[in-house]
Amino acid sequence: MGLPKLDKPIFEITIPSTGKTVTYTPFTVKEEKILLIAQESKDTNQMILAIKQIIGNCIPDIDVDSLATFDIEYLLLNLRAQSVNNILSFTIKDPDTEEEIPLEIDINEIEVQFDEDHTNKIELSENTILKMRYPSAKNLDSMIGLSESNDVNKMFEAMVSCFDVLGHGEDVYKFSEYTDKEVMDFVDSMSSKNIQDVKKFFDTMPSLHYEKKYTNSNGDEKTFVVKGTETFFI
């Protein structure tokens, strides 16, 4: 007779981008191993694969690739809180004193911030509206570290991959129905202001955000900012 399988509790969580409530189960030793291997690898691609696998295992009734990046960040952290511990303990190096500072963060206090000025509809001209879609799991590898990247081609590819629909007068164009060349020809026709408005979409996009204050040995009060998926692997 085989060993019995342990029952897993079921919880509910709301997906930030859609407001939809889904059920999930905490991850088990199997998912924890996947996470530990990814952490030890320090390899971005392996981390992304681990993230997608863990969420897929714990929330089977969801298309992981369709989730916005901030959905993934939020779900992953809450899975960790329910499965292991809601406290993240780690150390950082103070930039002034270079001392190691131990910090603790309560995952339950990390929330998705929504900017009041954020919109996914960009007016390119008087009768032309560009509708953006949020970066998804498919774009996660290109989005991580993008703000610090100096690779212009990479930034444009990431930007264009989030073009969803173009409304021009009464006509509607889906970017997925056009070739890369056709899309890039369209991008080349955009004005500098158009590009700045697209950049604002990314700059104001919902994201995980939490600030933790600490005091270094000089008595200076500092703030460590928690933001994004990479923080999960500290």
**230: pLDDT confidence band, cut at 50, 70 and 90?**
low
Q: Coil, strand, or helix at residue 104?
A: strand
Strand order of the β-sheet with 207-215 is 111-113, 207-215, 221-226
**145: pLDDT confidence band, cut at 50, 70 and 90?**
low
Instruction: Please tell me the least confidently modeled range out of 45-49, 179-183, 201-205.
Output: 45-49
Amino acid 62 reads I
Supply the pLDDT for residue 30.
87
Which range of 20-34, 143-157, 216-230 scores highest in mean pLDDT? It is: 20-34
Alpha helices, H only, the chain: 29-41, 44-58, 69-83, 140-143, 152-160, 180-188, 192-203
**36: pLDDT confidence band, cut at 50, 70 and 90?**
confident
Helices 192-203 + 152-160 axis angle, to 10:
80
The pLDDT tens digits of the residues spanning 60-90 come to 888 998 899 899 989 988 898 888 888 888 8
- How buried is 151 (Cβ within 10 angstroms: 0-12 exposed, 13-18 middle, 19+ buried)? exposed
Supply the pLDDT for residue 163.
95
Residues whose CB is less than 8 angstroms from the CB of residue 7 and which lie 6 or more positions away in sequence, other chains included = none
The yes-or-no verdict on residue 142 having pLDDT over 60 is no
Supply the pLDDT for residue 125.
93
CA dist., res. 230 & res. 228, Å (int):
6
Read off φ and ψ for residue 88, nearest 5 degrees: -100, 120
Supply the pLDDT for residue 65.
87
The yes-or-no verdict on residue 231 having pLDDT over 70 is no
The yes-or-no verdict on residue 177 having pLDDT over 80 is yes
